[in-house]
Amino acid sequence: MKRIFIYIFIALSFMGCHQANLEDRAVELWAYLPDVQMLEKSRAYMTEDFYAVLDTLLYRLPSHEAMDHAYNYWFTTDDGSLLSASPSKVEGICQRDADHAEATICGHHLSMERVKNQWLISDFDGRKEDGIRYISNNRKEQAVREAISAYLLREVAPLYKQGDICIPTLQMVYETDSCVWGDYLVLWYQVAGDSLEFVSGGIHPGVMRLHIDANGKPQVTQFEQVEDGARFESSAKRLFGEHFDMFMNIHSNESVREAVRLEQTNEYLKNHGLEYIIRPL
């Protein structure tokens, strides 16, 4: 009987020591929660899949999408300071199996996974699935944008006096799986030294009708445009329906249009390895 008590004591001591080690590791990992810079040193303290999600959210999406995403608030407190710099007392620890554990720190849940005998951050407050879903939706959105841009370059751009580069600007009003209502700007530029200068172009509001091809890629099958002149308002109301007011707010705001033009033109230049100063229209 005495021997049994000794074994139980040893086992409980081991478990207590193991839990203390897990708590210490959780505190160590907490210090490597990323900030908006996503420092390279954090990579060694995360599982590959969790790092890939965060890296994609911050660096692999269009800049405006990355900056708008709630990712920026995942690792900050209510006053905007970084969680990684806040006190990191472990409030609870739960080891689900030999290779998975979760620590509760400052009311947040830090998931850990043992990889090659090292405990690493595998998730934070269950955000990984949110990130994967957001990335998937963004890639679908980008495919739609690419299809619309390709259509505008093919069908609308030739209607204008041509320059060196034609870059569409897309302001989406409303989307479904088969249609995109928007305000589309098609602009030709010429290269003048280190600058892009406007040559010609125009605004083409309307609805793009889409079809998914055999490869799963969206293609524009029809573009019904708002009419010019006296029939502008009536045709816009017919095409945009309940989204007419939203369309007019976008269409009539020149400062927003210019901000979007600069943003999307810079994104185009970045994606094509080009560096030019974008001159005002």
Phi, psi of 97 (to 5 degrees): -155, -170
pLDDT in tens, the chain (281 residues): 545 544 443 333 334 445 668 999 999 999 888 766 667 788 999 999 999 998 888 777 776 555 455 566 677 776 667 777 766 789 999 999 999 999 999 889 999 999 999 999 999 999 899 889 988 888 899 999 999 999 999 999 999 999 999 999 999 999 999 999 999 999 999 999 999 999 999 999 999 999 999 988 999 999 999 999 999 999 999 999 999 999 999 999 999 999 999 999 999 999 899 999 999 88
pLDDT of residue 77: 72
pLDDT of residue 33: 84
Is the Cα dihedral 72, 73, 75, 81 positive or negative?
A: positive
- What is the distance between the alpha carbons of residues 131 and 137, in angstroms, rounded to a whole number? 10
8's CB contacts (< 8 A; 6+ apart) are none
DSSP 89-123: -EEEEEEEETTEEEEEETTEEEEEEEETTEEEEEE
**Rg (Cα) of the chain, in Å, rounded?**
27
pLDDT of residue 40: 76
pLDDT of residue 134: 87
Distances, alpha carbon 155 to alpha carbons 89, 96, 161, 223, in Å: 61, 58, 14, 10
Comparing C-alpha atoms, which of 279, 278, 259 is closest to residue 269? 278
pLDDT of residue 80: 66
Tokens encoding 103:
């620590």
